[in-house]
Amino acid sequence: MMKREVMELWRVCFDDTEEFIQFYFDKKYKEENALVYWDEQGAAIAALQTPLYPMTFGVTQIVTGYISGACTHPLARARGVMTKLLREAFYVMRGRKIPVSTLIPASEWLYDYYGKMGYATVFDYTPEHYTILDKPVADHFRVEAIREVGLLTDDLFNYFQSMMRLRPCCVLHEREDFEVIVESLRMDGGALIVVYSDKNIVGIAFAEPRGNHALVLDGMYDSEDVKRVALWGVMKYLDAAEIYCRVLPSGKADEHRGMARVLDVEQMLRLYAVNNPEQDLVLKVTDDWIPENTGIYVIGKGDCVCDNAKQVEVEVSVQELTQLLLGYHPERFPELEPYFKKCSPFISLMLD
């Protein structure tokens, strides 16, 4: 019953094909991750899902709750319904011991909306642009386009996962999701481009057509030579003379891609302390939406405790703490920069 109601709301709110909707609700929708706001008549007027994704965090790994399919019926908008639903989602995720939430705003104005709910921009990418590439001269490379999930081997997934894990603050994808990504590409006319050297996988690119060009949603390559071969493969198999790529942020001409929010400050600061046992710091954190997070945290000797009697050294909002913990431009916080390592958080391939 609930799944059917959420699907109907999705159809009303989003401009997706019926094929994609059926695909999403078959592959990604899980009742335990769904939250619905019902009106007095028992109709679903708002909904969201919180599918779980692993994420690298320093030398450890955490679980994040990704906000997916957040929508309100057009006749019920501007009543604060989604705000109430999101706040409920915060507590549901906290109850499941999920320390961080992530999302990709569907429109530019939503960055401000989610910012008011405690989210901070942390995921950027650098756009790259390529026009017609000549066929690479190296003849020991072989390129193929994979469009069928049945052709995905363990070697392919293992290469994908190992390359993703090298990124220090990156949302990861498990095997099932890897297959969902490739199936979604196929539905959009795209493909997974794979580069081999002899029998070894040395590069992959997730590409889809966008009008008269191709978009590489993400790519992993053993070298710049391999990258060039992969992009030539994108042009060949997607019949594109122009390619746009989203690559790891370089700090120049970066564009915003997504946001994150710490849901459990003490849990995240404890993980930070374990990763940085040499650090001693007293922080006051304020969180307007999750008052349980507001407090004074004492970090030292690889541990963190909340002690509201302590003298405060520095005060930060939950948005600022999220950016610091994920290493997003710590230089903007001169007083705290020595305590937090600069990082390039990355999110990709999220079926947004």
Amino acid, res. 43: A
Pick the closest to residue 295 from 343, 341, 262 (CA basis): 262
Q: Across residues 203-226, what is the average pLDDT? A: 96
- Tokens 């007083």 belong to 335
pLDDT band with cut points at 50, 70 and 90 for residue 43: confident
* pLDDT value for 58: 83
Amino acid, res. 171: V
Mean pLDDT taken over the chain: 94
* pLDDT value for 133: 72
Q: What percent of the chain stands above pLDDT 90?
A: 86
Tens of pLDDT along 295-344?
Answer: 999 999 999 999 999 998 899 999 999 999 999 999 999 999 999 999 99
pLDDT band with cut points at 50, 70 and 90 for residue 137: low
* pLDDT value for 185: 95
Flag whether pLDDT at 132 surpasses 80.
Answer: no
Pick the closest to residue 255 from 98, 123, 100, 143 (CA basis): 123
Flag whether pLDDT at 1 surpasses 70.
Answer: no
Q: Which domains are present in the chain?
A: 2-98 (3.40.630.30), 133-240 (3.40.630.30)
Q: Are 174 and 51 in contact (CB under 8 A)?
A: no
Q: Across residues 148-152, what is the average pLDDT? A: 93
Q: Which residues pair with 145 in a beta bridge?
A: 193
- Tokens 């081997």 belong to 153
* pLDDT value for 77: 87
pTM to 2 decimal places: 0.94
Q: What percent of the chain stands above pLDDT 70?
A: 99
Tens of pLDDT along 5-27?
Answer: 999 999 999 989 999 999 999 99
Q: Across residues 69-80, what is the average pLDDT? A: 90
* pLDDT value for 76: 83
